[in-house]
Each structure stands twice: as structure tokens, then as C-alpha cells.
Amino acid sequence: MLGLLPALVYDPATFGCSRCADNLLLVADEPGRFDDLGRLGIRFGLAWSLLLIAVAVWRAVRSSRTRQRVVALVVLAGCAYLGLVAAAFATSLERAFVGSGDLERRLWLGQAVALTTLAVAVGWSLLRARRTRSSLARLVVELGESPPPGRLREGIAETLADPALEIAYPIGEGRYVDARGRPVDLARGDDRAATPLVREGRTVALLLHRADLLDNPELIEEVASAARLALENERLQAEARARLEDIRLSRTRIIEAGDAERRRLERDLHDGAQQRLVGLSLALRLMRSHLGTDDGGDLAVRLDTAESEIRRAIVELRDVAHGIHPAVLTDEGLAAALEAFAEEADVRLAALPQERLPAAVETAAYILVAEASKRGAASASVERRDGVLVVEVETDAAPETLVELQDRIGALDGRLRVERAPSGGVRLHAEIPCA
């Protein structure tokens, strides 16, 4: 508009061009007004260039480090160009029109260089985006082949250039798990941010990523929509895994609660019933000794009988309590308990772990050996190898409680195999994680 307005007040004839055609737009021949309008245009151009520089610099300063690195060249080249344009305007202000002198030529040359640089910079950033997009495309293709758990995270981490990126899947009750169904801690440092990926009003996954990726929400959006199906799929798998883990844990808890109950019973029998019986036998003995030797011969005999009955009851109670839970297992550990077991059972012990292990692991290994040696002479070895307790027992036949044993060991994430032994009997091979 400011370029056209002067045409309304410019008559070429006034400026000495008699051969020029008439200005058809001429409203009034006013050379003074023409100069004013020219200056106004130049001032406007100057202000506009400076404003653009200010906006570009302001935005560059406000954006994150990574973004600054990416746009630095574009902003620099752009600012240089705008600066040169502003300089050209500034030098033309006196004359009221943009001239074509020596200085202007140099400024134009500078502008051309700046523009070329700007073009290269924009081209480069486009190339970068294209690269990201093609890695995204690769990811999408790969996801079509149902990736193993964790691969999706790797792919997205690669695409977003954030190796520490995590994906958390909501599985209800405010719980979040990773692809393998393990709980994810959402508490992060300041440099991490969480972006929920929402589909049909429901959060499918939570991306835990570098905070500065938020400068580029389109990229996250693009990744999310590309991987949406895979994310949904992986969320379902993660949920299933988490539920399985829940069940395993609850199985462990049930067995541990049972064991704790047995320990409590054993203790109660010892500390309650047995102590009372011991006290009773002492009382009877006192009565007996106060009776003297000469009087109440019959009564004395009856007291003796009662006392020996109580003694037998104490012994039986001890056996029952031991059968419920051997205290030595809790007090002294697996090796001591198995050694004590071997004092009365037909079992040969080859190797025993000398260190203490988790109570549930010790109990499982003990019961396995004890049950196996009920089926005949047994030989057992219990060894710890790389965080796994390996129990091997050879005996005549598989224990009757094999299913219970498998349940117990399974609840600890272990395995129990039954093989035919060269001797003709069976070999029980159990591996129980005990790290």
C-alpha cells in the first residue's frame, strides 16, 4: 500500500521525463507529498525488519537448549538478512527512495549471501525432520511385526532421540507398569516430563521423556499416532503380565501366610501347652515326694503313672510341633535343619549352602528334601549358583505331595522337574531364585 500510494501523487513530467507516458493513477501532482510517502514507506520497512529481528531473537532465547541448537542457524541467517535490509532502509531514509549506489550494492550482496544461508539452514532442518519421520516410518513398519516387549520403547526412544525415555501403561487403581508388567515410578526430576497419550478419552500410555521434547509437541503427537496400535497392544500385554505377577505374588503370600501360621502354631505348642505339661509334671513330682515312702503306696504308684503319662505327652507334643514346623529351620537355617533332619531320616547330604536364605526359599528346599526322602533312601545336594538355589534329590519314587511342592516352588518363581535317575529311581531337580 505504501509503495502504491506515492504513484497517486507522482507525475513523471514534473521530474523532467517528457517522454514518459502519463500517469493514469495521478490524482494530484504534489512532489512534496511524494517524498513524504516514500519516507513513510522506508520507515515502515525499517521498523518491520527490526520488529521481526526482535521477535525471532525473543523466541529463540525463550526456547529450550535443544531447540536453540536446531534453529540457531536459521535465526542467525534470518537476523543477518533482516539487519542488512534494515541497514539499506536506514541509508535510504535521507533520499526518500531506495537507491542503487555503491553502498546499496554491497548491502544487496550481503543480503543475497544471508538469504542463501537461510535457505540452506531451512533445508537442513527440513532434512532433519524428514530423517525423524523416516525413522518413525521404520518404527511403524517394525511395529507391524509385533515387537518383543521393550522394543517399542527402544524404537520411540530412538525416534525422539531420548535414550532414557520410558513408557508407562495405566492398569487401573492408579498403578502404572512397563511393558514387562513391572511397576513404574512416576516421580521424576525436573528435566523429565510425562505426556499422556490419550485415545477416545482414555489414557493409553504415559510417555516419560526429556522435558524439552515438549517444545515439539507435534513430534510426540506424530510418534503417538504412528505407534498407537502397538501401544494399545503393548498396554494389554503389560496389563496381563502385571495381573500374572499379582497372582504370583498373592500365591507367595498365601504360602508365606501358611508358613507363618505353622511357625506360630509350633511356638504356641512349645510355649503354651508344653510348658504347662512340664509344670504339671513338676507339680505331680512334688506331690509324690511329699507323700513320703511309707504312706499311700497305691496313691504313689498312681502319681508315678500319671507323671510318666505326662512325660510321654510332652514327647509326643514335641514330635507334633516339630512336624508342624522345625524350629531349627527358622533359628539356624537350611543347612542346620537338613543336618538335623538327616539325624533321623535316611538321607545323605552332599552339599549344603552355609549362608542364610530368604525364609520361603529355605522352607521350600527343606520340604522338598523331607518329602522326597519319605519315598526311600535319598541323597540330596543343595547349592547356590548365581542367585539360584539348586536342589537335587535322588530317591526311589516321586513324592506324593509333588503338586504341592511344584506349587510352592512355582510361587517363588522357581521350577521343579522330575527326571528318571540312572539308578532306576527318580531325580527331583528344583531351581529357586534366591537373589
**Least Cβ distance, residue 203 to another protein (angstroms):** 48
- Residue 406 CB neighbour total at 10 angstroms: 17
Residues 71-110 within binding reach of another protein (CB under 8 A): none
Q: Is 330 in the site for another protein (CB under 8 A)?
A: yes
Residue 221 interacting with another protein (CB under 8 A): no
What's the chain's length in residues?
435
Q: Residue 290: how many CB atoms within 10 A of its CB? A: 7
Binders of another protein: how many residues, by CB under 8 A?
Answer: 41
Element holding 284 (H helix, E strand): helix 275-290
Please report how close the Cβ of residue 223 comes to another protein at its closest, in angstroms. Answer: 57
Among 322, 375, 415, 429, binds another protein (CB under 8 A): 322
Residue 230: strand, helix, or coil:
helix
CB of 274 to another protein, least distance (A): 6
CB-based burial, 119-146: b 16+ in 10 Å, e otherwise: eebeeeeeeeeeebeebbeebbeebeee
Binding piece for another protein, criterion CB under 8 A, among 11-19, 169-177, 200-208, 309-317: 309-317
Minimum Å gap between C-beta 357 and another protein is 17
Closest CA to 391 of 342, 349, 329, 422: 349
Extract the C-alpha cell encoding 407. Answer: 506349587
* Listed ranges 26-34, 222-230, 231-239, 280-288: which one lies at the site for another protein (CB under 8 A): 280-288
Q: Does 400 bind another protein (CB under 8 A)?
A: no
Please report, as a single letter, which amino acid is at residue 318: R
Among 249, 260, 282, 397, binds another protein (CB under 8 A): 282
Contact call for residue 281 and another protein (CB under 8 A): yes
Q: What is the dihedral of CA 418, 423, 425, 430, to 10 degrees?
A: -30
- 161 or 291: whose CB is closer to another protein? 291
The CA-based angle 113-119-125, given to 5 degrees, is: 135
117 binds another protein (CB under 8 A): no
Q: Which three cell numbers stand for residue 47?
A: 521498523
Q: Which of 221, 346, 383, 413 binds another protein (CB under 8 A)?
A: 346
Positions of E strands within 276-355: 347-349
Q: What are phi and psi of 426, to 5 degrees?
A: -120, 155
| SS3 of residue 169 by DSSP | strand
**Which of these ranges, 8-16, 316-324, 389-397, 403-411, lies near another protein under the rule CB under 8 A?**
316-324
Q: Applying CB under 8 A, which part among 10-18, 93-101, 194-202, 274-282 lies near another protein?
A: 274-282
Residues that bind another protein (CB under 8 A): 267, 270-271, 274-276, 278-286, 289-290, 307, 310-311, 314-315, 318, 321-322, 326-328, 330-332, 336, 339-340, 342-346, 348, 377
